[in-house]
DNA sequence: GCCGTTTTCGGCCCGACTGTTTTCAGTCG
């Protein structure tokens, strides 16, 4: 049975090949919309299609459903194979290079016979790219620069974690707020929507004089180089290599610009379609009526209100069902930073943390937490100085002493106990019973494929002493995707046993991700937010986990951290 | 290829910017 990801990949490729072949634009877009819809669907779309129910999903019609059935039953799609014969697949990567696109990629093929990246490299080295009609020196230089990267044109190349991009964007936003004449500055785009990875950052600025903003960018110590732009938008590159787009509008239409720049693109398309049905043309410049009068909005909520919609949290603007929900005024109350009372998965220098428990507890108190759970590693994880049972008991004594001395916060005796290869835990039950709370995590066998990962996680979920599963999938961005978990099965058992599933806020983990978390919530499970901090400066990673939870649609009642642990079982 | 507060056919979001242009197509977000 093909996974949603495999179906989505097939549709994406088919759309790309059709686009190169010059197919009608909206047919191409239909495949891309279908791919996105399948990819984010909570259950198996192949099973739905075999039951004739995939057409219940928006953007999936009879034709796409038939192709999903074909893929499930034969392992391939005839239309995709035909498209591959007609158009070399390597051109897809060419078309992804900046400055190229489907038209120019095809022109390169026609003029030079180049069908893949390697062929393009050879053509560039031979100085022949400029022979292609429509390719001037600027485009040749742009393409040549990208070819130095071995991953040039690969899908998803150069996506960076939310946790690495967000601080850079916020630092620049803070600088811009101090510029004379600047009234408001917000981080927008996929960062504002809380996407786990982004390929650039967007900042919007309310100011009457765009030139002052441009000058400030030019002078900023955070900026390595300017990356072009005009009066309304400028792009810069930070020293770590993040591209940040800065858009400027006068304060009276800041709401229109913020809404536009936040996206998602699909959400905005739906919004503009809705506007058209009401006789309004919508853009970042405002709402234009049929007689040409333009209405502008200083605040974003006014834009939605002008279309008869309640304001929609940015994390939900992904073209699921949010417009219908907002039209009915049923927008959910998502979990917020102020709801968070504490967390139970941070480390100390008893294992691989950088500071002692008292320092961590004081830092947690400074964030307004009422409790903090020290969850150091268990004995099997030797490289982290995992605790033996003897050291666990000494740590408990130290925590008792700390609680007697520290004020304003309660320190909890927790552990991040390893789930061993056979699904058993790294401590025996007697010892586990002595902890306030037990987080069980996988740290080995994370490249396994198939069902064994699910079985190990399920064994831990069923364990009577386990309160939460840490970073369930075990992904590490840029290194491994982690396990292919049957998250529905896990979440159902987690709901039945009262076991929490963690959203780990480490920038390279963000695990569960928002799609898995959304599915887990639908199956009735509750979530635990963790920074997995190894020092005080990591505690803000919890804010990243919070964004992921909001993207999953989680409200305060879905998140354990909004309550004291004493309430969790109830 | 999808879809319906104009529709089962004929539409399908909107604008900025760039480069190669002799008036605009292609790309990008």
Cβ contact A516:A548 at 8 Å? no
What confidence tens digit (pLDDT) does each residue in A415-443 have? 999 999 888 999 999 999 999 999 999 99
A298 with A389, same domain? no
pTM over 0.85: yes
CA distance readout (Å), A407 to A355, A366, A377, A540: 19, 12, 26, 22
Q: What CATH number does residue A12 fall under?
A: 1.10.150.110
**pLDDT(A10) > 90:** yes
Burial of A74 (0-12, 13-18, 19+ CB in 10 A): exposed
Give the largest Cα separation in chain A, rounded: 79
**Average pLDDT score, chain A:** 92
**pLDDT(A157) > 80:** no
Q: Is residue A111 part of a domain?
A: yes
What confidence tens digit (pLDDT) does each residue in A282-334 have? 999 999 988 889 999 999 999 999 999 999 999 999 998 899 999 998 999 99
A433 with A529, same domain? yes
A66 with A98, same domain? no
Separation of CA A270 and C1' B16 in angstroms? 21
Helix (H) or strand (E) holding A68: helix A62-74
Separation of CA A237 and C1' B20 in angstroms? 26
A187 with A223, same domain? yes
Highest mean pLDDT among A23-37, A117-131, A269-283, A529-543: A529-543
Highest mean pLDDT among A87-101, A159-173, A206-220, A551-565: A551-565
A203 with A111, same domain? no
Comparing CA positions, the residue from A249, A257, A182 lying closest to residue A220 is A182
Which nucleotide in the DNA or RNA is closest to residue A63, CA to C1'?
B1
A121 with A224, same domain? no
Three-class DSSP category at A387: strand
For residue A180, what pLDDT is reported? 94
A170 with A136, same domain? no
Q: Which of the four pLDDT bands, split at 50, 70 and 90, describes residue A156? A: low
Domain limits for position A287 = 256-327
Q: Is residue A155 part of a domain?
A: no
Which nucleotide in the DNA or RNA is closest to residue A276, CA to C1'?
B13
The string over A458-475, giving b where at least 16 C-beta atoms fall within 10 Å of a residue's C-beta and e elsewhere, is bbbbebebbbbbbbbbbb
Q: Is residue A542 part of a domain?
A: yes
Q: Is residue A152 part of a domain?
A: no
A466 with A529, same domain? yes
For residue A493, what pLDDT is reported? 97
A9 with A35, same domain? yes
A534 with A425, same domain? yes
Q: What CATH number does residue A531 fall under?
A: 3.20.20.140
Q: Is residue A475 part of a domain?
A: yes
For residue A240, what pLDDT is reported? 82
A190 with A304, same domain? no
Q: Is residue A332 part of a domain?
A: no
**∠ CA A444-A446-A447, rounded to 5°:** 130
CA distance readout (Å), A78 to A61, A69, A75, A96, A484: 18, 12, 10, 25, 28
What confidence tens digit (pLDDT) does each residue in A343-391 have? 999 999 999 999 999 999 999 999 999 999 999 999 988 888 899 999 9
Q: What is the percent of chain A where pLDDT is above 90?
A: 73
In whole angstroms, what is the distance from residue A48 CA to residue A40 CA?
A: 14
Helix (H) or strand (E) holding A249: strand A243-249
For residue A364, what pLDDT is reported? 98
In whole angstroms, what is the distance from residue A344 CA to residue A102 CA?
A: 50
Calculate mean pLDDT across residues A158-186.
93
Separation of CA A79 and C1' B5 in angstroms? 37
For residue A12, what pLDDT is reported? 92
What confidence tens digit (pLDDT) does each residue in A35-57 have? 988 887 878 899 999 999 999 99
For residue A422, what pLDDT is reported? 85
Other Cβ atoms less than 10 A from the Cβ of A518: the count is 21
Domain boundary among A221, A249, A277: A249
Q: Is residue A153 part of a domain?
A: no
Q: What CATH number does residue A322 fall under?
A: 3.30.210.10
Q: What CATH number does residue A96 fall under?
A: 1.10.150.20
In whole angstroms, what is the distance from residue A377 CA to residue A224 CA?
A: 40
Domain boundary among A228, A249, A270: A249
CA distance readout (Å), A132 to A100, A101, A112, A123: 12, 14, 7, 11
Separation of CA A101 and C1' B12 in angstroms? 22
Torsion angle in degrees (nearest 10) through CA of A456, A459, A463, A468: 50
Residue closest to sugar C1' of B5 by CA: A277
For residue A158, what pLDDT is reported? 64
A403 with A548, same domain? yes
Q: Which nucleotides of B are covered by protein (CB under 7 A)?
A: 1-3, 5-6, 11-21, 25-29
Structural domain count, chain A = 5
What confidence tens digit (pLDDT) does each residue in A81-126 have? 999 999 999 999 999 888 888 999 999 999 999 999 999 999 998 8
Domain boundary among A327, A345, A371: A327
Provide CB contacts within 8 A for A432, sequence distance 6+.
Answer: A415, A417, A425, A438, A465, A466
Separation of CA A230 and C1' B18 in angstroms? 11
């Amino acid at each position: 049975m093909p996974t949603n990801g495999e179906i989505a990949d097939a549709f994406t490729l088919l759309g790309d090949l059709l686009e190169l072949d010059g197919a009608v634009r909206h047919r191409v877009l239909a495949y891309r919309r279908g791919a996105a819809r399948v990819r984010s669907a909570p259950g198996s779309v192949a099973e739905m299609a075999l039951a004739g129910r995939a057409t219940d999903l928006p953007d999936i019609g009879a034709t796409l459903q038939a192709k999903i059935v074909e893929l499930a039953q034969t392992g391939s799609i005839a239309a995709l194979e035909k498209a591959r014969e007609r158009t070399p697949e390597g051109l897809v990567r060419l078309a992804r290079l900046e400055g190229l696109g489907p038209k120019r990629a095809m022109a390169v093929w026609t003029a030079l016979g180049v069908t893949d990246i390697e062929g393009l490299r050879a053509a560039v080295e031979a100085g022949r790219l400029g022979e292609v009609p429509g390719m001037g020196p600027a485009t040749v230089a742009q393409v040549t620069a990208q070819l130095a990267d071995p991953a040039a044109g690969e899908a998803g190349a150069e996506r960076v974690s939310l946790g690495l991009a967000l601080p850079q964007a916020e630092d620049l936003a803070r600088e811009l707020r101090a510029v004379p004449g600047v009234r408001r500055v917000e981080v927008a785009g996929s960062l504002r929507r809380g996407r786990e990875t982004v390929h650039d950052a967007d900042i919007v600025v309310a100011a009457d004089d765009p030139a002052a903003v441009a000058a400030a960018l030019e002078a900023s110590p955070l900026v390595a180089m300017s990356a072009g732009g005009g009066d309304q938008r400028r792009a810069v590159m930070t020293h770590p290599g993040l591209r940040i787009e800065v858009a400027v509008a006068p304060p009276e239409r800041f709401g229109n610009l913020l809404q536009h720049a936040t996206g998602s693109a699909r959400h905005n398309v739906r919004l503009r379609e809705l506007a058209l049905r009401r006789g309004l043309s919508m853009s970042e410049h405002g709402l234009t009526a049929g007689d040409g009068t333009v209405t502008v909005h200083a605040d974003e909520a006014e834009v939605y209100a002008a279309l008869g919609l309640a304001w929609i949290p940015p994390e939900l603007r992904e073209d699921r069902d949010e417009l219908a929900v907002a039209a009915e005024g049923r927008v959910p109350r998502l979990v917020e930073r102020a709801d968070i009372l504490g967390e139970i998965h941070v480390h100390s220098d008893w294992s691989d943390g950088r500071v002692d428990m008292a320092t961590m507890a004081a830092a947690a108190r400074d964030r307004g937490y009422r409790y903090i759970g020290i969850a150091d590693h268990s004995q099997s994880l030797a490289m982290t100085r995992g605790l033996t049972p003897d050291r666990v008991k000494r740590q408990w004594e130290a925590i008792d002493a700390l609680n007697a001395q520290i004020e304003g916060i309660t320190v909890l005796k927790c552990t991040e106990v390893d789930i061993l290869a056979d699904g058993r835990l790294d401590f025996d039950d007697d010892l586990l019973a002595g902890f306030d709370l037990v987080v069980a995590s996988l740290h080995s066998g994370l490249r396994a494929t198939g069902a064994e990962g699910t079985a190990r996680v399920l064994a831990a979920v069923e364990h009577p002493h386990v309160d939460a599963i840490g970073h369930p999938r075990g992904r590490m961005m840029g290194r491994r995707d982690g396990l292919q978990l049957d998250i529905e099965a896990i979440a159902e058992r987690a709901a039945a046993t009262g076991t929490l599933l963690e959203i780990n806020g480490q920038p390279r983990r963000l695990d569960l991700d928002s799609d898995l978390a959304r599915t887990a919530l639908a199956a009735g499970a509750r979530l635990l937010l963790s920074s997995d901090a190894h020092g005080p400066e990591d505690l803000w990673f919890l804010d990243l986990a919070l964004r992921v939870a909001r993207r999953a649609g989680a409200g305060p009642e879905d998140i354990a951290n909004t309550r004291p642990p004493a309430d969790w079982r109830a």
